[in-house]
Amino acid sequence: MPSDDADLFDKVVNLCKRRGFVFPSADIYGGFRSTYDYGPVGVLLLRNVKDAWWRSMVQLRHEVVGLDAAILSPPAIWQASGHLANFTDPLVDCRKCHARHRLDKLEDPETCPTCGSKGTFTEARQFNLMFKTHAGPVEEDAAVAYLRPETAQGMFINFKNVLETSRKKPPFGIAQIGKSFRNEITPGNFVFRTREFEQMEMEYFVPPAEAQQWYEYWCKERFDWYVELGMPKDKLRLRPHATDELSHYSSGTSDVEFLFPWGWDELEGIANRGDYDLNAHAKASGEKLEYFDQASGERYVPYVIEPAAGATRTAMAFMMAAYDEEEVEREGTGKGESRVVLRFHPRLAPYKVAVLPLSKNEKLVPVSREVLGLLQPHFMCDYDETQAIGRRYRRQDELGTPFCVTVDFDTLDDRAVTIRDRDTMAQERVPLDALVDHLTPKLG
């Protein structure tokens, strides 16, 4: 079931390039398929999404610590984890148009969606999604290495290191945000499915008997996170996997899904991975990856509950959830016009405040820069002194900036500025010496 606004996808993609959220990578060279560069505004949105995740998963929890593991890794890790043998997708080619497709993603396994031909697919063959490379100066003598397809394994192989240095005991978690790489057969839907992407993952190690209750806890906790940051509940769902969908290591998995313009699709998976990963790496490495409870004398391999979210696709979903169009009165004119506004939660908004001198008058610019200097230590700010003030308001609406601070000629006398609210467009006058205190509670 697609989203209500059939044009939403095109509108957001257009806005992304026009306002500096996302650019096609290598654009001046004709582009490089399925790679994107995050522009001046997009890099702020993506960082805010990651910061909001880190705040909820690490900063506000005493039992979760962070990690930043290496991207390059030896084959032994992926042999033990099962990725070399099992991390594959079924690939078919159309004999008529030569298009390639993932068999498991086709609505009709007999019909090519590219050319419409029936019965023209080759036999399915398994395609490994790992990116293989060589570490060393001469390829033929160099060691084989892989770009990680997920951040999770770095946390499993560091289980013992973290356990000994952090002095945590189950239940405890290791969280990580970082780049992953998958050689997707059919990347698409803008930044939703790409070969290079960022993940936000946490491995939560628990006593085996408590695994189910922690699995249910994290399903609810992660669903609520999206709602608290402004996603409407009717655009979200928590979908448990059917038995035949489960990964070989999982006894239970649920996906947090968002209603994209093309239909429901995954933002995050929460899985009960059992003790598969720690046992696999213990067996392959010869190291004991277990926990000894000194109080009870019990020794066990913890089970793992894994909430794993895509940072890039989550940022895209927040944009689509925030996108709005409405008819409004043009400020100060009494005339009507349409405006596009991104109604981001303040924590996610790329710029929190925009400082706008009423005009580029030489008397207004110095005090406007003074206001900017007052706000910058507290908030990410934009500054714009070109074009008419109404056009600049509209630009900030499209960037999702919660508040605009306008410096006018009265400011020179009363040392006060006008604050404009993004969502209501209401304006109020605030003295400069009270400006930071006024905005801080509104911006969280």
323-350 burial code (b ≥16 CB/10 A, e <16) = beeeeeeeeeeeeeeeeebbebbbbbbb
3-class DSSP assignment, residue 206? strand
Token digits for 414? 């009363």
Angle at alpha carbon of residue 388, lines to 387 and 394, rounded to 5°: 95
How confident is the model over 326-337, as a mean pLDDT? 75
Q: What is the DSSP string of 351-404?
A: -SEEEEESS--TTHHHHHHHHHHHHTTTS-EEE--SS-HHHHHHHHHHHT-SEE
415: exposed, middle or buried (Cβ count in 10 Å: 0-12, 13-18, 19+): exposed
3-class DSSP assignment, residue 185? coil
Name the more confident of 331 and 113. 113
Does residue 1 surpass a pLDDT of 50? no
How confident is the model over 133-143, as a mean pLDDT? 78
Sequence-distant (6+) residues with CB within 8 A of 402 are 344, 346, 349, 352, 353, 421, 422, 423, 442, 443
- For 55, half-sphere exposure in the C-beta direction (CA atoms, 13 angstrom radius) is 11
How confident is the model over 66-84, as a mean pLDDT? 93
In the chain, the domains with their CATH numbers are 8-70+168-319 (3.30.930.10), 351-443 (3.40.50.800)
**Residue tagged 């068999």 (tokens):** 103
Question: What would the pLDDT profile of 238-269 be if each residue is shown by its tens digit?
Answer: 999 988 777 777 788 999 999 999 999 999 99
Question: What would the pLDDT profile of 94-107 be if each residue is shown by its tens digit?
Answer: 999 988 888 888 88
- Mean pLDDT, the chain, whole residue set: 92
Quick one: pLDDT at residue 380?
97
